[in-house]
Amino acid sequence: MNRQPRNQANKRPPAKTGGKKPPAAKKPARKRTAIGLKGVTQSSLNQALRTQKRSSQLADQVIDKAQIADKQPAPKTKVANIFGQDQLKVVFLGGQDAIGAKNMVVLEYDKDALILDCGNDLGLDLPGVNYAICDTTYLEEIKGKLKGYVISHGHLDHIGGLPHILPKYPAPVYGSPFTIGMIKKALANSAESAHLVDQLKFYEMNMDGHERLLAGKSFYVELVRITHSIPQSSCIIVDTPAGRVVNTGDFRLDPEPLDFLPSDIKRLRQLGDEGVLLLLSESTNAQTPDRTPTEHTLQPSFNDLIKRATGRMFVATISSNINRIQMIINSAAEGGRKVAIDGRSMIQHVELAIRMGLLKVPKDTIVTLAQLASLPDDRILMLCTGWQGEIGASLQRMSIGEHKYINLRPGDTVVVSSKPIPGNIPAYDKLGDDLVKLGCRLYRAPTWEVDGSAGPLHVSGHGCRGEQREMLEIIRPRYFAPIYAGAMNRHYHAQLAEEEVGLDGKNIFMANNGDMLTFNTAGAAKLHQNAVTHGSVLIDDSGQAIPSMVIKDRLLLNANGLVVIILTINRQSGQLISSPDIVTRGFIYIRDNEELMSMFRNELKRAVNQRFNRIALDRFKTELKDHATHFLYNQTQRSPIVIPVINIVSDNGNGRPRNGRKATEGGSKSPTAKNYKRLVELRTSIRDGQLKNSP
């Protein structure tokens, strides 16, 4: 029996068309599919994408926490001038998110504006970031009004932003003599701002004489002495047409400071009696009860340790705490020891304090590092930087054997007269570990009782709740805004003001960075949230700003590593001219994974053969990047950043390649000569073995 073909069974014969041939059926378009990866399911591809997304989200969270300026939302609406022309604006640009974080407040009235403090933030743990300063978008808007900068004291979280911001928005600077000296040092250390030392006006204000200076037409400025851990700290007093504003700066109310210059409580009380519209008071120790002990309680501890030490002695402490340095020098001189100074900031602060008469040094007490070699061990004391274990500081270099002149050895005594700042405990503890391994006798502030010190080795430079309560009771402001700390510390400070001092809770403002307070001349007040553009501008070691996308790339590189794929393809044949070059950083060590790299190169060759001549170059690069990402995740369960570099060359007619076009992830246009040169150098380095693959 004859059988019809299966696909022809039960089909009708074609209809007659009157001699015309039926139209040819169109062939279905070839489906363009991405590069297929052998042995990989859609589930595993999705997992690779989820891993990438998760890494990106984690990086975004870090960036959001840092409040990087180019990622912050702009204010939705401009603050309405609800009080008419005669209103005082108080703008919080920095300092409201953490302790020691780029403190800056701006006062604005009519055609005048005044900046109170202008600091940086050294507490950011981001790759390649040295510190952060405040975003200056708002300053750009009011630059025509700017009449000056008033600085409470010389710590970097209050002056560290000036070398970057003053060149863009120059104006007179007001401060105590020591503070102005610190500012000039900071400006002179930066090429961007060094010229301003001779060009700007610097007003060294007399705090004890209650000097008042007019800034613009709207502000009278006065500085009142306050005790802190740096000389000549001050409360900032600004009289405005709307009322008096008091900014405490950083403070403690030490009744018996070593320099016999306590806080000017009498003047502060007088200002309170005259009436204060707004008090801005720091909240650093708002969670700590009672009062901060006086600084001079540390003197017996230094005396005891110096007497007991039988060998060389090294003391690391805060370089700007001149009173503590004075105590250490006094104890050293009494114990018959010579003092050497090491560390740039220590040398600068000591020189400035001696020149201004704030540090008294007995004759022939100070010696150079070179002179130490000729002295007996029990006659040596080195005063140095590095109390936080910061990389490159004097004591840190000694602890790892990299100091140019000093090698620590068993029998040396090391005193770290400080406590770790928040977030820096690992570096602080590593310093201790390294010192102990060298055989040093170690005394640290947090463990002074266990170490055997006769007394404490550190006291805070900030007042606790007892002093914060006293400040509120002295000033008796109509309105109060806690400043220069994170939300929780400011919350406890506000709670103290309401529950223990009796301020009306409606007159206490929890202002965040970017918020604005407005007051009219009758004293009415309103808080506007997210009123101005704000955020952090990240600065690297060279003084340049770093965009958030660069930080995100660094975070992703840190988490997953980098893979660079370099392909050289013949334009005419669409074939690889040489085997793919693969460079990894922070992903795997190629020499230990040769089998994986061989498989990877084969996949890349297959991708070129399968897709290069069939799709546009941009699409090929995208598919190649995805393909490589999925392959590497399938093999390693990691998703590194993948960068394809494609160099396309053409035959010159005799079968030899000539330079054609190159494409990277950025686009398919011909590269600039500079970029092409970089590619050639990269390939040459790889082939010559100069660029070694590292984990």
Q: Which residues of the chain have pLDDT under 50?
A: 1-20, 27-33, 660-673, 689-695
Architecture of domain 561-688: Roll (3.10)
The helix (H) or strand (E) run that includes residue 107 is strand 104-109
Q: What is the pLDDT of residue 633?
A: 87
Task: Give 27-76 as a DSSP string.
Answer: PPPPP--PPP-TT--HHHHHHHHHHHHHHHHHHHHHHHHHTBGGGSPPPS
Here the tokens at position 428 are: 């602080």
Asked whether the whole model's pTM tops 0.75, one would answer yes
The two tokens of residue 279 are 């008090």
pLDDT at 225: 98
Residue type, 410: P
Which residue in the block uniquely carries the two structure tokens 């070398």? 163
Which of 537, 423, 535, 562 lies closest to 55 in space, CA to CA? 562
649 contact partners, CB below 8 Å, separation of at least 6: 568, 569, 570, 571, 577, 657, 658, 659, 660
> Could you give the CA distance from residue 495 to residue 504 in angstroms, rounded to a whole number?
11
Residue 283 structure tokens:
């909240």
SS3 readout for 535-574:
CEEEECCCCCEECHHHHHHHHHHHHHCEEEEEEEEECCCC
Domain ranges of the chain: 86-290+462-545, 295-451, 561-688
CB 330 within 8 A of CB 299: yes
Alpha carbon distance 406, 160 (integer Å): 31
Please report the pLDDT score of residue 276 as a whole number: 98
- Helices 617-636, 42-66: axis angle to 10 degrees equals 90
Helix H, strand E, coil C: the string for 327-346 is: HHHHHHHHCCCEEEEECHHH
pLDDT of residue 86: 77
Write the class of the CATH domain 86-290+462-545.
alpha beta
Query: What is the predicted pLDDT for the residue at 8?
Result: 42
CA 358 vs. chain centroid, Å, equals: 32
Residue 590 in contact with residue 584, Cβ under 8 Å? yes
- For residue 663, the Cα-to-chain-centroid distance in whole angstroms is 35
Domain covering 295-451, topology: Rossmann fold (3.40.50)
What pLDDT score was predicted for residue 459?
Answer: 94
